[in-house]
Amino acid sequence: MNATTSVQQLRQMQSVQQLEKRWNHRFTYRIVLKLARESTTTVVPAVGYGSKQSVTACRACRPVSAIDVWNFGQEKASDPKTQALAINSAHSITENQIHMHICDLNKKMKQDLTDLYTAHSKTPTFYSALREIKDMPLLGERMFCRAAQQTNQPISGATISADINTVLGRTDTCDYFVGAAVIIDNNGFTWSCVTADNESTEVKRFCA
């Protein structure tokens, strides 16, 4: 191993450590701002994901809370009827940054969440609080979800952020594997879910 290689590896290690620190620090993200008279949030294409988009870094950024990101994603940046929001875990990201994917929703996941309650109820009352979901396709090893109790109603960023922190605070989950997503089911109820395993939250899970 030569000196150049050693320096490169050290820089990579430092980069990963910095990423983990950012990820674990109260799930705070950065959102894009244009350099204009009035700062406006911008959604730019995510490289390599076809029709998918992401809220990610651009020319100038300022820190915003996770609450703002989730609210903006649901209310301004996406069409909930056809699109899902997803943030991958630090383990499964493919870029050295944390960003929110806005993607064509996975219809199988949409149906699976609908099936959780329609066999015994017209509304997802049981999921008004965050609950662990088990033994379903596409859900991976660990996932926790809650559902809005009225149709076409977003789940507040404060609630989503609190649920993420709840999962991060568990003793049986690893922060490095925690991701999150928002999707609407076939009956129009919004679901927010926190994933806690080594699989992607986005690819073939919440995104088509």
Q: What are the sequence ranges of the domains in the chain?
A: 32-207
Q: List the one residue out of 74, 70, 195 whose CA is nearest residue 138.
A: 195
Average pLDDT, the chain: 74
CA atoms within 13 A on the CB side of 205: 27
Q: Give the C-alpha distances (Å, rounded to integers) separating 204 from 65, 109, 167, 194.
A: 27, 9, 22, 16
What pLDDT shows up at residue 57?
38
Q: Which of the 8 DSSP states describes residue 170?
A: -
- Rg of the chain over Cα atoms, rounded to whole angstroms, equals 18
Q: Which amino acid is at 193?
A: C
Answer whether 0.85 is exceeded by the pTM: no
pLDDT digits (tens, 9 = 90+) for 88-136: 888 876 665 567 889 999 999 999 999 999 988 999 999 999 999 987 6
All residues at 6 or more sequence positions from 174 whose CB lies less than 8 Å from its CB, including other chains: 196
Looking at per-residue confidence, does 25 or 78 come out higher? 78
Q: How far is CA 62 from CA 46, 71, 108, 149, 177, in A?
A: 19, 17, 36, 33, 26
Q: Going by CATH, does the domain composed of 32-207 fall within 2.40.30?
A: no
Per DSSP, helices labelled H in 42-139 are: 66-72, 107-118
pLDDT in tens, 11-47: 454 454 444 444 333 333 333 322 222 233 333 333 3
Q: Tell me, what's the pLDDT at 199?
A: 87
Q: How far apart (Å, rounded) are the C-alpha atoms in residues 91 and 20?
A: 9
